[in-house]
Amino acid sequence: MSKEKLPIIDHSDQNKLLEQIELLQKELEQIQIETRSFEAVLRSHVSDLIVEAQELLVLFKQIKKAKKAKRLEQKKRGKNYKAPKEIATVPKKKKSAVPAEDLKKKKRLYKEAMLHVHPDKFHMKEKETEVANEIASRLIEIYQNESLETLRAYHAHIFKGNTAIALSDSASKIKMSSKGNYLQQEKQRLNQALELAKNQQLYKVLTEYDNPLTFVDELKEYYADRILKLKKRTRKGL
C-alpha cells in the first residue's frame, strides 16, 4: 500500500471513543461486582429455603414420572390396549446458527489477523506484547462469540493502524472489506450490556430500595409459598 493510499485516521475521535469505551467498561464491571456481591448476601439469608424448594421440586418430578408409568401399566392390562407402533426417527442435524459460508469467512479473517498480532511476534517489546495480548484475546472472543460483521470491523480496525503495535510491511497488503467502525460497534455493545445489567431485578433492588436488605423478606415469602405448594403436591410421596 503506497503512502498516498494510507487511510486518514482522526486520532482525536479515536481517543474519545477509547475513553468512552473504557468508562463504559468500568461502569459495567462495577455493576456486575455489586450485583454478584448482593446476590451472595441474599443467598446467605435464604439458602436453606432454596435447598428445600429444590429438593421438593425433584421429589415432585419423581412422583409425576412414577404416576405416568403407573397409568401406562394400567393401560397395558386393558383388553383394548394396542402397543403404539414404533416410528423410526431420523435424527435431525443440528443447524448452525451461523451459515457455513460466514463461518468460513470468520475463520479466514481470524487467522489472518492473528498471524499479524500474535503476542509471540512482539516478545522483544514488552509494551507491544501487552497490547498484542489484549488484541489477541479480543480477537478470540469475537471469533468465538460474535458476528461476522463485528469480526470484519475489528479486522479493519487492526489493519488500519488503530492499535498501538507496529504491524509488519506485509500487513499493508491485507484487504479490508468492512466499512464499519469497530470502536463505534464496541461502544454500542457495551451500552447494550450496560442497559441489560441495570435492568436486572437484583440491581434495581440494590439501587431503588431504601434498604435493599428488605428484599430478603420478599424472598422468604416467595420461597415459603413455593415450598407450601410443593409440599401439597408431594404429600403422598413424603
pLDDT at 163 over 90: no
Query: What's the average model confidence in pLDDT over 141-154?
Result: 91
- 232: part of which helix (H) or strand (E)? helix 215-233
| pLDDT higher than threshold 50 for residue 227 | yes
Angle between helices 148-159 and 126-145 (to 10 degrees): 160
Main-chain phi, psi angles of 102, to 5 degrees: -70, -40
Instruction: State the Cα–Cα distance between residues 146 and 151, nearest whole angstrom.
Output: 7
Mean pLDDT of 12-27: 89
What is the rounded CA–CA span in Å between residue 112 and residue 180? 18
Are the C-beta atoms of residues 205 and 212 closer than 8 Å to each other? yes
pLDDT mean over 147-172:
84
Confidence band of 217 (pLDDT split at 50, 70, 90):
very high
User: What are the residue ranges spanned by the domains of the chain?
Assistant: 47-76+193-238, 99-186
Q: Does the pLDDT value for residue 20 go beyond 70?
A: yes
Which pLDDT does position 124 carry in this prediction?
Answer: 76
Residue 175: alpha-carbon gap to chain centroid = 30
Q: What is the pLDDT of residue 94?
A: 61
DSSP 172-225: GG------S-HHHHHHHHHHHHHHHHHTSHHHHHHHHSSSGGGHHHHHHHHHHH
Q: Which residue has the cell 454478584?
A: 36
Q: What percent of the chain has pLDDT over 70?
A: 85
**What tens digit of pLDDT does each residue of 88-147 get?**
666 666 665 668 888 999 999 999 989 888 888 887 788 888 988 999 999 999 999 998
pLDDT value at residue 237: 56
Task: Pick the range with the lowest mean pLDDT from 8-12, 44-48, 122-126, 178-182.
Answer: 8-12
Kindly indicate the confidence band of residue 4, based on its pLDDT and cuts at 50, 70 and 90: very low
Say if residues 163 and 131 touch (Cβ distance below 8 Å): yes
Residue 197 above 90 pLDDT?
yes
Q: Contact, 117 vs 155, CB < 8 A?
A: no
- What pLDDT score does 87 carry? 62
Q: Which residue has the higher pLDDT, 11 or 174?
A: 174
Q: Which three cell numbers stand for residue 68?
A: 405416568
What whole-number distance in Å separates Cα of residue 22 and Cα of residue 147? 22
Q: Which residues of 35-74 are buried (b: 16+ CB within 10 A; e: fewer)?
A: beebeeebeeebeebeebbeebeebbeebeeeeeeeeeee
Which candidate, 162, 164, 196, places its Cα nearest to that of 182? Answer: 162
- Residue from 6, 37, 21, 43 nearest 183 by CA: 21
pLDDT for residue 6? 42
Write the pLDDT tens digit of every residue in 62-93: 998 988 888 888 877 776 767 777 666 666 66
> Per-residue pLDDT averaged across 197-212, rounded?
96
Per cent of the chain over pLDDT 90 is 47
- pLDDT in the model for residue 221: 96
**What is the model's pLDDT at position 13?**
78
pTM: 0.67
